Amino acid sequence: MTLFPARSLIVSCQAGAASALRGPEPMALMAREAAAGGAAGIRANGPADVAAIRAAVDLPIIGIHKLGDPAGVFITPTAAAAAEVVRAGATLVALDGTLRPRPDGVPLAALISVIHADLGVPVMADVDTYEAGVAAREAGADLVASTLSGYTGGGPVPDGPDLDLVARLASTLDCPVVAEGRYATPEQVRAALDAGAHAVVVGTAITNPAAITRHFLRATA
């Protein structure tokens, strides 16, 4: 897997529904800034954002298409969703690789195989546990990412990243492991790479000014 050099930093350019930055143009500007800063790739949501970012930067784009209920399987849940972001210019597709059933009941291996055959792009499985990571690799995922750790159990989301999951996956899987989810400091990024991650995806800490403001505001209380 040579899409991303070893020890790459990938920047996730996504804005929530309430964000003033939501929309293809702001996300494309964000991606340009990330590229100017040295990012090796961009992660982006939805065909409109992916298309605008594709036109703005010459970097690999991890395309996702969030559809449906955020409490369930919603990151690129179907082959049709994957096709939309690939047509828009995504270099590879990330999708929910947890052990939860997909809304349409299609098994992960079948979905990955259709994406490989019909779209010809690599697939990154966003997982929540070690078991899901192993299963995703067996199902044909080309990369496995820790993206969904902390988000599927129904409990509070932890403050920090799941470095243990990254270390376990990296020591077992014969594919690149990507660290993603709540990486907020350069030290955490280095720790993930030193634990065996091939690349680290950082979103909120770089591209969400409201969250960054709230983070600094804690010091004023």
Ligand X SMILES: CC(=O)N[C@H](C=O)[C@@H](O)[C@H](O)[C@H](O)COP(=O)(O)O
Residues in contact with ligand X by CB under 6 A are 12, 14, 64, 147-148, 151, 180-183, 201-205
Q: Give the nearer residue to ligand X in terms of CB position, either 192 or 205.
A: 205
Burial of 106 (0-12, 13-18, 19+ CB in 10 A): middle
Q: Give the nearer residue to ligand X in terms of CB position, either 80 or 157.
A: 157
Contact 72, 96 (CB under 8 A): no
Q: Give the nearer residue to ligand X in terms of CB position, either 78 or 117.
A: 78
Find the shortest distance in angstroms from Cβ 36 to ligand X: 19
Find the shortest distance in angstroms from Cβ 174 to ligand X: 24
CA atoms in the 13 A half-sphere facing the CB of 21:
16
For residue 203 the two structure tokens come to 């979103």
Q: Give the nearer residue to ligand X in terms of CB position, either 72 or 196.
A: 72
Taking phi over 0 as left and psi of -120 to 50 as alpha, with beta for the rest, 89 belongs to: left
Find the shortest distance in angstroms from Cβ 76 to ligand X: 10
- Residue whose beta carbon is closest to ligand X: 203
Q: Give the nearer residue to ligand X in terms of CB position, either 64 or 139.
A: 64
Which one-letter amino acid corresponds to residue 70?
Answer: P
Find the shortest distance in angstroms from Cβ 154 to ligand X: 13
Find the shortest distance in angstroms from Cβ 186 to ligand X: 13
Tokens 């979905």 sit on residue = 111
